[in-house]
Structures are given as C-alpha cells and as structure tokens.
Amino acid sequence: MSVTSKAINCIRSMIDSGELGPGDRLPPEHELAQRLGVSRGSLREAVRALSHIRVLDVRRGDGTYVTSLSPVELLSGLQFAIELSQSQGLDEVLEVRRLLLPPAAALAAQRITSDQLAELHEIIDQLEAATDGDEIAGFHRRFQALVGDATGNETLSSILRALQLRGENARRAWLNYGTAMREVALAHQRMLLDALERRDSDLAKSIATVQVDERRRWIEVLRSGIPLSRR
C-alpha cells in the first residue's frame, strides 16, 4: 500500500468511526500528517483524492472540511469516476442500466408528482419541436433525469445520472444517426410518460427495459457492420 493510500484509509477511518463528522474541520496539516505518520506531501495527495470524490471540501484560507456526506454529494464523485473510467467500456454501462433503469421506472410510477408529470409533458413538447441533435440529446437527458428524481430515492437518482454521463457519447451518436432513431426515442419517452401517468409500474418497467435493449441492439448491429436505415 502506498503512503498516500494509507493516508486516505486513515482519514476514512476517522470518518467511519465518527471521530470526524459531516461539516467537521480536519486538524491542521502538520498535526494530521504527524498523527498519521505520513509526509505533508502525501497527506495533500490524499486530501486531493478525497476532495475529488466529494468526501472532503478544501476551502482556501479556511481549511479542509468533511462534506455533508449526502448521497448527491458523494455520488457526484461517482459521476467523476465513471466519466474517467473509459476503459470500463460501454457494455458495462448498458448492463448496469439494464439492472437499474427498469425498476427505477416502476418506482417512479408509484411516486411521481403532478408537477413532475407536467415537466415531463413540457419536455416532450420541446422534443417534438426540436431539430438540433445536441438539443434533442439534452432534452432526453433531462427526461431520464427527471424519471430518476421521481423515484424519490436520492441515491438511485444520483447513480442513474452518473450512468447517463458515462453513456452520453453513445446517446448523442444514436440520436444523430438519423431521423428513425429520434422517432424511436421519442416514441419510447411518450409511452413511458403514459405509463407514469397511469401509475402502471409493470408497464413503466417494461418500456424502460425496451429502451435499454433497443440502444444495445443498435450498438451490436453497428459493430456487426450491417447497414442501418438513417432515414
């Protein structure tokens, strides 16, 4: 184990044990480095790594604090990690989406609010009028993020947002491939919105499953070299 990893583990242990809680300020750098038995340079590297994943908040001229440790705070760090892990591959992202998105849609059907439904209708209207590929991709991203929020589960919603970020390039490529793909994507969102309005969890789950499977099928066909209609 590297010295930096040792420092990271020690700080995490202080948080896990309750010695440091949300909002607490870390001891001065020289004091903490001496206590952990590491150099100040190694401690700075550890703090930098923990700040990237939103465990610590470095405030210049003030000190370093433990964050709120809320799911959104911590999982925004997960988004950062997922975005950088290009080597993990799109197949893994689709696999995880297949596991999480359908049950999330089912849960959203049970918990979605009237305001959220109204916002989804507005996004559908914007999608129907949009012609720019990047703008269309953004509307679809907002739609899916709102479905995640409608679950009422902050942790699940944050994970789904992280997966969206990792799969954004594939989403844009799919939507920019041709009008046929855009029509399919819009039809799926309309059907999902209808299921959410009906509070039909089984139907919402089925439609979300089709959404993921259709994207995966498109990628597999592209890899095979079989021509696809770009109508």
Q: What is the CATH number of the domain that holds 142?
A: 1.20.120.530
Is 143 in the same domain as 199?
A: yes
Q: Among 114, 113, 78, 109, which Cα is nearest to 96's?
A: 78
Is 150 in the same domain as 213?
A: yes
**127 occurs within a structural domain:** yes
Percent of the chain whose pLDDT exceeds 90: 41
- Whether the CB-CB separation of 179 and 170 falls below 8 Å is answered with no
| pLDDT of amino acid 172 | 67
Is 48 in the same domain as 111?
A: no
Which of 18-27, 65-74, 176-185 is the least confident region?
65-74
**73 occurs within a structural domain:** no
pLDDT (tens digit per residue) in 86-105: 444 677 888 899 999 999 99
Looking at residue 14, which CATH number applies to its domain? Answer: 1.10.10.10
Is 136 in the same domain as 101?
A: yes
The mean pLDDT of the chain is 83
Is 15 in the same domain as 99?
A: no
**53 occurs within a structural domain:** yes
**Residue 131 belongs to what domain range?**
88-224
**108 occurs within a structural domain:** yes
Please, which contacts does 48-52 make with residues 24 or more away whose CB atoms are closer than 8 Å? 49/4, 49/8, 50/8, 50/11, 50/12, 52/77, 52/80
pLDDT (tens digit per residue) in 114-126: 999 999 999 999 9
Give the span between the Cα atoms of 131 and 110, in whole angstroms.
33
Is 164 in the same domain as 100?
A: yes
Mean pLDDT computed over 55-61? 86
- Give yes or no for residue 156 having a pLDDT over 70: yes
Is 155 in the same domain as 107?
A: yes
**37 occurs within a structural domain:** yes
| pLDDT of amino acid 29 | 92
Is 216 in the same domain as 163?
A: yes
Which of 143-157, 187-201, 212-226 is the least confident region?
212-226
Residue at a domain's end among 31, 66, 101: 66
Is 55 in the same domain as 169?
A: no
Is 57 in the same domain as 109?
A: no
**105 occurs within a structural domain:** yes
Is 127 in the same domain as 204?
A: yes
pTM over 0.75: no
- The total domain count for the chain is 2
Give the span between the Cα atoms of 80 and 74, in whole angstroms.
10
**175 occurs within a structural domain:** yes
Does 82 or 37 have the greater pLDDT score?
Answer: 37
**57 occurs within a structural domain:** yes
Is 92 in the same domain as 206?
A: yes
Element of type H or E holding 150: helix 133-150
